[in-house]
Amino acid sequence: MVKMDERTYLEIYDSINNFEDVERISREIHEPVGIVATMLQQKVVRRVIKNHGRMQRHTKRHLRTWEEGNAILNIAQRNKFPATLMAAMILKEMGHSKKYINIMFKNPETIRNRRLRTEVIQALNADYFYSPKAHQKQRVRGQMGEDIIGKWLEVQDIVYLSENDLRKNGNGKTPDFVLDDPLTIDDTDIRWIESKATFGDVREHQYYYQKQFKHYEMEFGQGLVVYWYGFVDSITLEGHLIKDYEFFDGMADVDELLAFAGNW
């Protein structure tokens, strides 16, 4: 994939509503499932941010609905809300602490109440974005992207400090890689690389620019941002380079990363 125009991106983004759509849309646009899946993840996360306050205001109603015999997963689906978050809200309304809810989510088979145990397991298994298993898969996906870049730098004998190295030295906001010497790409000398296992639309990019990239530029100079699953052509560069998976064509594990949908 090269840079995607905004109209095409929005058409794809608007057409994805659940994981059942991912493989079908992937075939239709002839792109890896991982690209479509990351767009869906962005859509779900943004919907949660928008609706979370409203959902919290109705936790008593959700608990009452559960007490009437409705399953947690059904309540979540009816409200178009991630099942793990719905389960957490209902459990909290029951009087359970956040700490205990986390324990239940990590070890749901230990929940004594049979109905609650069955429904929590069902909710976690149906949630590809907010369940503990989903978070673990997201960490794996992120690490895969960083590992590919690390191998790419090592193949070219480029010396660098990793994010962990920099933090040990007391640095605050740190990119994934800081190069000992500038690396010239597209006539630009870059001094750092940041790996993002996501799709870079304008909203995503502006969020990361304000939170991370501009601080990296002030500290280290120009850098390279890698949006592994592509990006829209309307992104403003703000002084740094942006690449996607095509830049690392031929490196091992790139195809595996692109096929990483995050479901199970």
How confident is the model at residue 3, as a pLDDT?
80
- How far are the Cα atoms of 65, 91, 95, 228, 232 from residue 80, in angstroms, in the given order? 15, 18, 24, 28, 27
Residues contacting 251, CB < 8 A, separation 6+ = 148, 151, 152
pLDDT per residue as tens digits for the range 2-60: 689 999 999 999 999 999 999 999 999 999 999 999 999 999 999 999 999 999 999 99
| Strands 241-243 and 223-227, bridge-based pairing | parallel
CA distance 231 to 219: 25
How confident is the model at residue 167, as a pLDDT?
81
Cβ–Cβ < 8 Å for 76, 48: no
Residues contacting 53, CB < 8 A, separation 6+ = none
User: Is the pLDDT at 1 greater than 60, yes or no?
Assistant: no
pLDDT per residue as tens digits for the range 180-206: 999 999 999 999 999 999 999 999 999
Share of the chain above pLDDT 90, in %: 89
Which structural domains are found in the chain, ordered by start? 6-132 (no CATH), 137-258 (3.40.1350)
Between residues 264 and 109, the one the model is more confident about: 109
Q: What is the value of pTM for the model shown?
A: 0.92
Cβ–Cβ < 8 Å for 195, 146: yes
User: Is the pLDDT at 209 greater than 60, yes or no?
Assistant: yes
